A and B are shown apart, each in its own frame.
Chain A
């Protein structure tokens, strides 16, 4: 896997069904791995993990995906498929930032911002977008600084701020920001409206680490004022869920002779220990 950071979506026993929907909706998308718990797809070369984790968590629009359609017919196809059982947050229309744009949540709760345009407008086809709502409202600026201090090659492409008269949003808060971490694009937005959702395990971001030192780095920095969970999961100071995972784990988990033993090892871990997982998997 060439990407450092990949999104992970949480489903209740519907990951494979959802993967099939995404393959039929998005251009150049295919299933690249399948197990009873994890399904992985590649969307125009970008990886998404679909996890069947049960009913406890659901995706919500606090982390959405900005998806660029270069062709009108792709956009129409996706919109039509996601409309079935989904809900529209912003109708397909012309907006100041796009000739044609719409925000839709599919029937599994995963939220997509579709925009007609050129991939070169953002730099990648699919971009995670963090929405700071409720208690996290107004923290997008802090998050940009925080993530910039943690990841390699941080770069802020641009920040658009609310102006007076955009109530309930306060002038100066981040209306839309785009940044790069490790060469990958992210978007951040503050939104004051009564959304009723915030960051959760429903959509998490996985950081793939080659070395234990790297795991230690991201785990240490992201749990600062955040919270450790189990099995390599954590919540950062804004409540965003991250998984800090050894790169080699993907290979181990696709080997039936090793996967169970590795899972036994990491079930008791908070921060993952590469050496212990590898040793357990070959024991």
Chain B
């Protein structure tokens, strides 16, 4: 067996501690494992050449804490590449909650089976160990880019909704970002915790409430239309939902009187 540590890809150095690579090339030596600081979250990739010389992907797994001993077992045809991460990195890169990973490792095939098929294809055709580690580097860089893109989408969307919380704003955001509605809803919920429309209605209520408190209006109908409500009854329903009272009774007696 041969092993070495590899310096992480420059754009990943913020997230990675080190990369450990093991290649089997003679009889297995079970107790000759290198000494390494286990107990760190890791992306563990094990491949093996079959008799026909095809590279078979045995395992690509995210471990929250420790890579179990049995994973390190090797034959003469095994290659192991293990990326050891800084503690915060796995949830950020793979959107798997740390608490979930701490309990149970995640195989990439259950994390995202479609991406995993593409990854396995790449590993299968990566002839050398250095090609394999390039494939895994690319996966991590891609995850990082995708997360950054998602963050930008959410930042843009929440900003837009903050400025204009009328009903038409969501359609405008979809158009500007050129993004599928369901995809947008999924990403939004992942980062913000509520659906885009729920968030919009919260913002809308905040505006109304501020306007009402500041006394900047002639009639309640004006407020409703100013803030993009279709009509007065939508306005009252929304107000009741978030403030647990009606606009009129709020004006009379503040938030204490429940209606």
Contacts and interface: CB of A to CB of B under 8 A. Distances in A.
Contact of B122 (A201, A226, A257, A267): A267
Contacts of B110: 54-56
Interface residues of A, number: 29
Contacts of A223: 180
A56 to B, nearest CB: 4
Nearest to A228: B180
A227 interface: yes
Contacts, number: 84
A35 interface: yes
Given A227-B182, A228-B182, A267-B122, A36 B54 contact: yes
A264 B138 contact: yes
B180 A260 contact: no
A231 B115 contact: yes
A268 B142 contact: yes
Nearest to B124: A36
Given A227-B183, A228-B180, A260 B117 contact: no
A267 B138 CA distance: 10
Nearest to A227: B182
Interface string A211-235: 0000000000001001111110100
A36 B122 CA distance: 11
Contacts of B183: 227-228, 270
Contacts of A180: none
Contact of B124 (A37, A230, A231, A233): A37
Contacts of A156: none
B180 A267 contact: no
Contacts of B115: 230-231, 267
A162 interface: no
B236 interface: no
Nearest to B120: A37
**The 9 residue pairs across chains A and B that have the minimum distance between CB atoms:** A54-B109, A260-B125, A267-B118, A263-B121, A227-B182, A230-B114, A56-B113, A263-B118, A260-B122
Given A260-B124, A263-B122, 9 more contacts: A55-B109, A56-B113, A227-B180, A227-B182, A228-B180, A230-B115, A266-B118, A267-B139, A270-B180
16 contacts: A36-B54, A36-B57, A54-B109, A55-B110, A226-B182, A230-B112, A231-B115, A231-B118, A256-B125, A259-B124, A260-B121, A263-B122, A263-B125, A264-B138, A267-B115, A270-B180
